[in-house]
Amino acid sequence: MIARSLSGLLKKGDRVAVSNITGREASKVSTISQQYCGNVVAGWALGKSGKWVEVPGETSIPVFGQFDEMLTQLPENRWPTKIIVYSPPDAVYGDVKEALENNRGSVRTVFVITENVSIEVTSKLRRLADTEGVDILGCNTLGVINVHDKVRVGAVGGDSPNETFRKGSACVISNSGNMVNTVASYLQSAGLGVSYGISTGKDVNILTPLKDLLALAMRDKRTSMIVLYVEPGGVYEAEAIEAIKGRRSPKPILVYVAGEFAESIDVSLGHAGAVVDGAGTSASGKKALFDDYFGVPVFDFYERRKAPKLLAEHRRGIRVNALHDLVPAATALMSALKIKRDFAPLRPLALRPWFVELGPLAKVLPRDLVPYVAPIPEPYAKLVKHYVTSSIGRVPSRQPMRGVSHASSNDGATPRIYGRSLIGLMKTGSFADTVLLYWLGQPVKHTFEARLFDMCLMAALTNGPGTISAQGAKLSASAGNGPNTAMMATLGSIGTVHGGNGSKAARVLINVFRDTDLVDPYDRAAAPDLDALVLTFVKAFKQRKKLAKEAGVAYEKVPCLGHPVFNTEAINYDPRERVIDAVMGEEKLYNVFLDFYHRLSRGMMEQCATSKVHAVNVDAALTCVLMGIAWPLLVDKKITVERAVDLPFLAFALGRVAGGAGEYLDHRDSGTAMDMRVPVSECRFLGRDQD
């Protein structure tokens, strides 16, 4: 091994380069590493030269096409000392070879993260590394973390390394990447932090075997205890114990050996190398090996008070049979060998359920099987409040969406919308039904909803040729554009204050009703106390208005109340809203949101927030109709709040773009070229001539 100390594997100041850095996992992990410790100087990926991996709040990472190009382009003091390999399995050998052959003496350690690398390639990597004089970890390592220096390579610690790893004196060496984290978090309950967390990988060939790592850990000044997670397969532990047997005062080892259950049955474990391949390589063989070395029997929780005496006598460590016994065993070991705690132990390991709902089962179960909900630690508690206890809306799960869709599919024969045949929809449904299916992910519950939506689309068609969206279509036609451009011009002429106001109204309605028990917006009897909601809303509005006026800044108006045309009376109405309201009345339909809006427009005047009753405009009506359809889905967490907020704007845009098409057709047929141009004589310059 080239490294003479654990810090030789990774320390502050080491510069890291990442192969295949633009890949899904590599770019994500590199971004988090860069935010955690800023040690990633560059990456390389064939054909990606000139790209950057953006790192929010930190230096972005440049990407080169090849390793040699990277060294040529980077100044010498930025050359990497470590490389992490995220290349696909078949490219691993070539990428490592290329890097080491063009190394120029810079790289000292290679970490191969890639899984499913062939054994032949791993053997070649070992020889290659020996020839080139570098250390190599992996394959299928998760990486290494040096906690005192606050640096890592690979993904040890996941997306929040600070949460799991506190500075301390235990060196964790694990065959499983995930177990590095898990063991480190357990040890906190014993008051033990971590000096180094090392994931060896568990392929058939572990390229840096335990004996080498153990030798470094034994020499490391920051390490006072070594904690091992071991799986069956390989002679690594036998070699390691053989190597340390002769030491006069070896550092104590705490070990957990997994996988004995598989010995009696013919099953393969998760890791490729966890395969028994000879005497002493089984879990039971390794357990016996460690027990023999320690000279003490396996840790027994119920006899834990006796452990320190035995441990003080033999001083080599102890094995545990259950992973959570690491904590009492570490405590016993520290007590026996007078090892100081790194910090006050965190709360003891115990069952701490975050959510419990056992229903009727709870009544028939013994009490110890119905655990009480425990306090949720930060930062999770805040997130739980936001995502889980928040009353409405689906929490979105994100993934790369290139070429995939929940909304549509086509198996080569049948196009589908959310799994429903478009052909079938064409035969039995309507345009409005189908658009709502596409927008909501499921068919509407009530037949009247499609009818109301249809009316909304009609209402959105036009408000005369003077509206700026109609003007957009006319301007485009006047310039000689085709229909698609004119329709884009219509869409380009709507925005948050023209057409988009409905989305603001949707957000208002969600905020007003989210803490009520409202489930069915069409049930008048179950409606919450609307007058009380209006009063609360208006009071808050007045307060905001007052504060804004005092500060001399504009205040946020109530969206969708009032209209530039329909505003001349003491009590005003938008005729398009009236039609929707009237049809609902005739059909004996109730919509709690529209009712709220009507009461709000009156309440605003009654509470002296306005001087007249403003019209509930068509955007409000449209919003209330769509919110009526969306609300049960929000309550049921079937759709996101963001989707519900977008619906009114989408409906307006869909109606208006059809209206824009009408304006275009008319203008193209009857207009003259450039007739929308404002004559020079009518244009005024508001500045001062400078020449």
* Closest distance of CB 607 from another protein, Å: 37
Contacts of 117 (CB under 8 A, 6+ apart): 89, 92, 125, 138, 139, 140, 203
- Which of 34, 103, 146, 164 binds another protein (CB under 8 A)? It is 164
User: Residues 192 to 251: which contact another protein by CB under 8 A?
Assistant: 202, 204-207, 209, 229, 231, 233-236, 239
Kindly state whether residue 324 participates in binding another protein, applying the rule CB under 8 A.
yes
Query: Contact letters (x/-) for another protein, 615-654, by CB under 8 A?
Result: ---------------------xx-----------------
β 109-112/82-85 pair status: parallel
CB nearer another protein, residue 344 or residue 554: 344
* Closest distance of CB 406 from another protein, Å: 9
CB nearer another protein, residue 388 or residue 423: 388
User: Residues 274 to 313: which contact another protein by CB under 8 A?
Assistant: 274-275, 277, 279, 281
Q: What are the φ and ψ backbone dihedral angles of 254, each rounded to 5 degrees? A: -115, 125
Distance CA 90, CA 453 (A): 55
Kindly state whether residue 352 participates in binding another protein, applying the rule CB under 8 A.
yes
Contacts of 80 (CB under 8 A, 6+ apart): 15, 16, 17, 41, 42, 70, 106, 107
User: Residues 79 to 138: which contact another protein by CB under 8 A?
Assistant: 89-90, 115-124, 126-127
Kindly state whether residue 689 participates in binding another protein, applying the rule CB under 8 A.
no
Q: Which two tokens stand for residue 445?
A: 């519950």
Contacts of 462 (CB under 8 A, 6+ apart): 470, 656, 659, 662, 663
- Which of 94, 133, 297, 371 binds another protein (CB under 8 A)? It is 371
Residues binding another protein: what is the number (CB under 8 A)? Answer: 108
Choose the stretch contacting another protein; rule: CB under 8 A; options: 21-29, 59-67, 559-567, 663-671: 21-29
Choose the stretch contacting another protein; rule: CB under 8 A; options: 219-227, 273-281, 286-294, 435-443: 273-281
- Cα 681 to the chain's mean position, in Å? 57
Distance CA 84, CA 153 (A): 7
Name the 3-class secondary structure at 552.
coil
Query: Contact letters (x/-) for another protein, 432-471, by CB under 8 A?
Result: ----------------------------------------
Kindly state whether residue 358 participates in binding another protein, applying the rule CB under 8 A.
yes
CB nearer another protein, residue 201 or residue 603: 201
Q: Which two tokens stand for residue 481?
A: 């554009």
- How many CB atoms sit inside 10 A of residue 473's CB? 34
- Which of 47, 267, 305, 669 binds another protein (CB under 8 A)? It is 267
- Which of 185, 430, 434, 481 binds another protein (CB under 8 A)? It is 185
Query: Contact letters (x/-) for another protein, 531-570, by CB under 8 A?
Result: ----------------------------------------
* Closest distance of CB 330 from another protein, Å: 13
Question: Would you say the C-alpha torsion 300, 301, 305, 310 has a positive or negative sign?
Answer: positive
Q: Half-sphere exposure of residue 579, counting CA atoms within 13 Å on the CB side?
A: 14
- Which of 15, 51, 82, 271 binds another protein (CB under 8 A)? It is 271
Distance CA 336, CA 439 (A): 66
- Which of 400, 412, 466, 552 binds another protein (CB under 8 A)? It is 400
Kindly state whether residue 157 participates in binding another protein, applying the rule CB under 8 A.
yes
* Closest distance of CB 169 from another protein, Å: 21
Q: Which two tokens stand for residue 605?
A: 């005047």
* Closest distance of CB 145 from another protein, Å: 11
Distance CA 311, CA 338 (A): 11
What's the burial of 246, exposed, middle or buried (CB within 10 Å: 0-12/13-18/19+)? exposed
| Tokens 């709690």 sit on residue | 592
Q: Which two tokens stand for residue 3?
A: 């490294």
C-alpha distances in Å from residue 62, one per residue of 44, 97, 264: 8, 21, 52
